[in-house]
Chain A
Amino acid sequence: DIVMTQSPDSLAVSLGERATFSCKSSQSLLSSSNNKNYLAWFQQKAGQPPKLLISWASTRESGVPDRFSGSGSGTDFTLTISSLQAEDVALYYCQQYYNTPRTFGQGTKVEI
């Protein structure tokens, strides 16, 4: 199974400041057939199901604010919130869907 490791486990950022956190996979998520990275980011607020924010490492889902951006390739990925808002307090998970079983990182908790 592909192991996903996120860092840090938690992060406190002031309102309006940038939040950046990392996800590393135990093997490359870059497909040679389509040059796409099979990496997604999810946001989970307290008491809610996860919400898909970004797929293919950097493609925002419809309706996701542009302050959220994903980057990286191969085994190293980053999610950045350019200007943290109060509503961004949540757990953030990365997920690889390169192969089965799909696996998640342990999550990064973002606080104000």
Chain B
Amino acid sequence: QVQLVESGGGLVKPGGSLRLSCAASGFIFSGYSMSWIRQAPGKGLQWISYISHTSTYTSYADSVKGRFTISRDNGKNSLFLQMNSLRAEDTAVYYCARDGPATDDNWGQGTLVTVSS
């Protein structure tokens, strides 16, 4: 079955950096586009980034553009999110999700990123 496992979250100071990873299994990773979506504590869902299956196309929410970089390694079935210049408002659970025939059809359990001094 489809499995997505995020890692790399933790506590970081404002202005710091963090790299999230998402290990995929149970499907042909190279055949699917992927997204990162976050959820601040007690808040709703916010899509933040997307990457096509061959990495040809990437897209970002305005709130993270220029600070976050999405990438993937199809040989290692892995998705990444490099997060720089982190702010308190970036505190959230970060989910990776597979882009199915319609939209985000499988999600990982998420990894918590806390930005605080």
Contact = CB atoms under 8 A, between A and B. Distances in A.
Interface of A: 38, 40, 42, 48-52, 55-56, 59, 61, 93, 95, 97, 100-107
Contact of A55 (B46, B50, B103, B107): B103
Given A93-B44, A101-B47, A107-B44, A52 B95 contact: no
Interface of B: 35, 44-47, 50, 59, 61-62, 95, 100-110
A100 B101 CA distance: 16
Contacts, number: 57
Given A104-B44, A104-B46, A104-B47, A49 B103 contact: no
Residue among B35, B44, B61, B101 having the largest count of chain A Cβ atoms under 10 Å = B44
B59 A50 contact: no
Q: Lowest 3 A-B CB distances belong to which pairs?
A: A55-B102, A49-B107, A97-B103
A52 B105 CA distance: 6
Contacts of B108: 49
Contacts of A105: 44
A93 B95 CA distance: 15
A15 B15 CA distance: 49
A106 B39 CA distance: 11
B102 A97 contact: yes
